Amino acid sequence: MNIWVDADACPVAIKAILFRAADRHGVQLTLVANQPLHIPPSRHIKFLQVASGFDVADHEIVKRLDTGDLVITSDIPLAAEAIEKGADALNPRGELYSPDTIRARLTMRDFMDTLRASGINTGGPAVLNQNDRKAFADRLNQLLTRPRP
């Protein structure tokens, strides 16, 4: 299993959890972003910088994904593509997207985009809190310790 991180929007606290997990479990962690990022020295952690542009990082992640990999993202379309390729997708709040729920999430995302485009202020996501970080760490640990086929 490889872990791919949509790193441009990934919270610093979540990256720190991922760095520790990659070393502890010996899994390859690759952060993909269109701007330089600082990563700790580790044979398990890599950084891939891509060109600037809409969804460039997302497309690069999808291109490199293998069945059984894990994608860390809050981007619903990227999560849907990862699931279609047989990967798991986990958001920074610890929610594991699934084939059963991703279509409803895509529909809600599109609806909210339509509202924002019409000038309605829909607000943003709540600030990531300690409960979110714990939920993420717990779910990540479950995924990294589950038996592999």
Higher pLDDT, 73 or 147: 73
Supply the range of the domain harboring residue 141.
Answer: 2-145
* Tens-digit pLDDT profile for residues 54-94: 899 999 999 999 999 999 999 999 999 999 999 999 999 99
CATH value at residue 7: 3.40.50
Buried b (16+ CB within 10 A) or exposed e, 108-136: eeeeeeeeeeeeeeeeeeeeeeeebbebb
d(CA 113, CA 52): 22
Contacts 24+ apart (CB under 8 A), 37-46: 37/7, 45/19
Residue range 108-135: mean pLDDT, rounded: 80
Comparing CA positions, the residue from 92, 68, 126, 125 lying closest to residue 7 is: 92
* Tens-digit pLDDT profile for residues 21-57: 999 999 999 999 999 999 999 999 999 999 999 899 9
Task: Give the three-class secondary structure for 124.
Answer: coil
Cβ–Cβ under 8 Å, residues 27 and 48: no
**Total domain count, the chain:** 1
Q: What angle do CA 60, 58, 98 make, to 5 degrees?
A: 120
Q: Is the pTM of this model over 0.85?
A: yes
